[in-house]
Structure 1
């Protein structure tokens, strides 16, 4: 209990403000968790829904493959720009408010995609959908603020794994809807789902009482957005444009120069767009490095497995499975992430974020390093992908816990937003790297008198082993994250530490 001589608001950080008048009656923990997890799943569904349709997009929009690929790129770019901006606005002006804004924009994007046959309009719709990428970090920070301490671990674990869950479920759903009802059906169905979740968020999610003081750094946001756009274009399009081409190198130089100008300007501001001092601390820095590496592994689980099983048997490794069948192969890994959400939550409370991240990274490493051996039949492939999903579930549950252990309560949305941005960079890097790998190592074979070219067995072997090594590097990185007892907040475990800080802020706001 707070001593009578202590003002409740004194327990908040110096630049945080308590706004009890803006907070409605507390909702049940199961309702808040379920609604936000559904919102996160809707976001990940929209992000991955178009991936299986990449081969048919040029014909659907009567354009070239390179132009059609912008339907994927524009979502990545808008998400990269929106995530740090919306999460900062969430800390300043309300997390539920910004979640509603993001969900509304995503619903609008789905409507545009459902009714248009224009490539330009479709790109606008995909860009609007990408803006909702901030839902997951904002949702995690809401759970940290609103859930009772014993529920925080499970809530964060479930919310963190929605990216993988939605992705795994979205792949077969995309194929089924497209083959049965066409392009627009994808977005009528998912858009309706998003609209329902928007209403659920409005009704079932309370507004957080903890706000950051200060103003929004508009200039800093614009400069950061330009730096991120040029960086993401370099990473995502460098393979198709040529890594040594003037345009690609120009993007890299522009990004580096812009970041070089942006960093000192942020250090000089009293209320910066991103508190770089916080993100340069060892726990936060190492967590973000591990996040990039493990996101590559999570993405590669889809990007390598699907073409692997779709390849003709004549390649020596494929099974000739259809697009829909390949999506079904990935469902067990998504379901495993759901099942392991409560397990990850308990791990967070028992061994803390660092231990959970370390174990998850090692499980992912084992799944990839054994993949060249687990390829005799589809069942073995499913076992390997499911093991990767289990490791990803643990790893992604631990990341926000470690991030929030190093962040002030009033900057949790921003901190998770930057971590989410690191994951986006990992996703872009995985997509570009694997595309280059599969295009660079190929084999030609003849079926029914027709010569066709596919990625060779060695390409997949290199990809699997590389992801295994990256996961091992992530595990080593996790091992060097300081234990929670050494953090500036002095908590005994990262999982319990979040519960204690949530209780302090909640008590002060009551």
Structure 2
């Protein structure tokens, strides 16, 4: 069952990187300008962020198994739409559906709590969490290879086959637990969260192209923040909220979520910088490596996450998830310091990126465990979904900030040093926040595992 959920997570994470090799030629493929084809990537980010906490709550209410199957079905539908798309609007619609299906990753992690013995839970969480890195890591070289030798629609035919296989495996192998809280869907909360997240994430992800001080950016940010404030007030007043604000405000949960933002930022700083350094022409300060070779050089980081999963599980059992998260942040800190003091060639980047993958593997195993220790069993899905959203917010923020820094200096060496310095700060912030995460017992919040 753990292997099936890991495969489903790998399939969902694969969807995040399959368009990267073709994003530069999307205007030609879809007969649209670059500003509009950017939505092929942006829409997936938005729908994934919105889907994640909502899917988690629905899983708590109606059964995680049924909701996981539904999400994979939506992901399959999106892949088929993209495979048949020849224009911009169908492509955006398909990518939006693919984003909705990505909520299956934190939901699968939550399902482990219902299925796996507590002695194996830490290792199982680490394994499923690692698939986020493995799927993304293998997605780029596979996509680059397919793009170079076959029609680009084959990317989404492959994605459809993976999604269909995941649905079959989940249906026939993963058992239904019967654990559900019931209740009614908070439609007002869904609407408020959707508007709020869309506004904030649009402002962050599109601010560099719209202009950070432009009216669209400021208006989008203002609408998003006001909607989130209204959402929080409303959720506090109803008996069956979409997001339990009181549980989310507990010290253990809140501090873990803040640390997750910092770790998401640290992860994506390397994810943005390293591919650009590898592919930039030598005359511009890069290494002049082609896309496929650059993608292969970054693959070991994903597999480092996978290899570290049993190690992470053992550390979590013996020292606890808080120590595991601190260790993860320190590994990232060492990696980014290395970027600042070591001359970066292709081999050095591959090694340091593998160290980054090791740190992320440890951290992504620790955060769900910390959340599960701090919330009741019937809120595991929603709480893990919110934590995944916080990580996604960190990566989105990193993509916007790092992208702006690199663009402002036209990809010269000084800009990458600034990016690595931001990685140092984010890693240190994650370690400090993790140090102050209290145990559930310290707050009187004993969760049933």
**TM bucket normalised to smaller:** over 0.9
Between stretches 213-222 and 328-337, larger displacement belongs to 213-222
Does the 8 Å contact 1:302/1:330 carry over to 2?
no
The structural deviation recorded for 1:94 is 0.7
Give per-residue Cα distances to partners, 1:316-340, cap 9 Å, x unaligned: 4x22100111101111101111100
In the alignment, does 2:113 pair up with 1:157?
A: no
Counterpart of 1:194? 163
Does the 8 Å contact 2:256/2:437 carry over to 1?
yes
| TM-score, scaled relative to structure 2 | 0.98
The structural deviation recorded for 1:86 is 1.4
Segments of structure 2 that go 5 or more residues without pairing to the other structure are: none
Aligned positions of 1:401-420 closer than 5 A: 401-420=369-388
**Residue among 74, 80, 84 paired with 1:111:** 80
Counterpart of 1:245? 214
Give per-residue Cα distances to partners, 1:141-164, cap 9 Å, x unaligned: 111110112211111011122212
**Residue among 466, 479, 488 paired with 2:422:** 466
**Residue among 346, 367, 392 paired with 1:399:** 367
- Please give the alpha-carbon distance, in whole angstroms, between the structure 1 residues aligned to 2:143 and 2:251: 41
| TM-score, scaled relative to structure 1 | 0.86
Give per-residue Cα distances to partners, 1:334-355, cap 9 Å, x unaligned: 1111100111111110111100
**Residue among 405, 416, 422 paired with 2:390:** 422
In the alignment, does 2:38 pair up with 1:82?
A: no
Counterpart of 1:432? 400
- Please give the alpha-carbon distance, in whole angstroms, between the structure 1 residues aligned to 2:74 and 2:339: 40
In the alignment, does 2:153 pair up with 1:184?
A: yes
- Please give the alpha-carbon distance, in whole angstroms, between the structure 2 residues aligned to 1:74 and 1:376: 34
In the alignment, does 2:140 pair up with 1:171?
A: yes
What is the SS of the residue equivalent to 1:63? coil
Does the 8 Å contact 2:62/2:182 carry over to 1?
no
**Residue among 75, 91, 103 paired with 1:134:** 103
Counterpart of 1:447? none
Give per-residue Cα distances to partners, 1:87-121, cap 9 Å, x unaligned: 11110001000000000110111111111211100
Larger radius of gyration: 1
Does the 8 Å contact 2:190/2:242 carry over to 1?
yes
> Structure 2 vs 1, CA of residues 257 and 489 (structure 1 numbering), >3 Å: closer, same or farther?
closer
Counterpart of 1:314? 283
Aligned positions of 1:269-348 closer than 5 A: 269-316=238-285, 318-348=286-316
The structural deviation recorded for 1:260 is 1.9
The structural deviation recorded for 1:408 is 0.6
RMSD of the alignment, in Å?
Answer: 1.3
- Please give the alpha-carbon distance, in whole angstroms, between the structure 1 residues aligned to 2:343 and 2:443: 44
What is the SS of the residue equivalent to 1:207? coil
What is the SS of the residue equivalent to 1:371? helix
The structural deviation recorded for 1:395 is 0.5
The structural deviation recorded for 1:483 is 3.0
- Please give the alpha-carbon distance, in whole angstroms, between the structure 2 residues aligned to 1:409 and 1:208: 12
In the alignment, does 2:331 pair up with 1:363?
A: yes
- Please give the alpha-carbon distance, in whole angstroms, between the structure 1 residues aligned to 2:427 and 2:310: 23
Does the 8 Å contact 1:109/1:128 carry over to 2?
yes
- Please give the alpha-carbon distance, in whole angstroms, between the structure 2 residues aligned to 1:181 and 1:375: 37
The structural deviation recorded for 1:171 is 1.2
What is the SS of the residue equivalent to 1:314? helix
- Please give the alpha-carbon distance, in whole angstroms, between the structure 2 residues aligned to 1:369 and 1:66: 35
The structural deviation recorded for 1:50 is 0.9
What is the SS of the residue equivalent to 1:370? helix
Counterpart of 1:13? none
- Please give the alpha-carbon distance, in whole angstroms, between the structure 1 residues aligned to 2:444 and 2:115: 23
Between stretches 173-182 and 373-382, larger displacement belongs to 373-382
Give per-residue Cα distances to partners, 1:298-323, cap 9 Å, x unaligned: 1222211001111122234x221001
- Please give the alpha-carbon distance, in whole angstroms, between the structure 2 residues aligned to 1:68 and 1:213: 41
The structural deviation recorded for 1:487 is 4.2
Counterpart of 2:8? 39
What is the SS of the residue equivalent to 2:241? coil
The structural deviation recorded for 1:376 is 4.1
What is the SS of the residue equivalent to 2:204? helix
- Please give the alpha-carbon distance, in whole angstroms, between the structure 1 residues aligned to 2:72 and 2:20: 21
- Please give the alpha-carbon distance, in whole angstroms, between the structure 2 residues aligned to 1:379 and 1:232: 35
Which 4+ residue blocks in structure 1 deviate beyond 4 angstroms? none
**Residue among 205, 219, 225 paired with 2:188:** 219
The structural deviation recorded for 1:375 is 3.4
What is the SS of the residue equivalent to 2:176? coil
In the alignment, does 2:446 pair up with 1:441?
A: no
> Structure 2 vs 1, CA of residues 289 and 217 (structure 1 numbering), >3 Å: closer, same or farther?
same
The structural deviation recorded for 1:247 is 0.9
What is the SS of the residue equivalent to 1:391? helix
Counterpart of 1:60? 29
Does the 8 Å contact 1:283/1:406 carry over to 2?
yes
Larger % of helix: which? Answer: 2
The structural deviation recorded for 1:456 is 0.2
What is the SS of the residue equivalent to 2:180? strand
Counterpart of 1:259? 228
Does the 8 Å contact 1:227/1:258 carry over to 2?
yes
> Structure 2 vs 1, CA of residues 374 and 174 (structure 1 numbering), >3 Å: closer, same or farther?
farther
Between stretches 159-168 and 91-100, larger displacement belongs to 159-168
What is the SS of the residue equivalent to 2:341? coil
**Alignment size in residue pairs:** 449
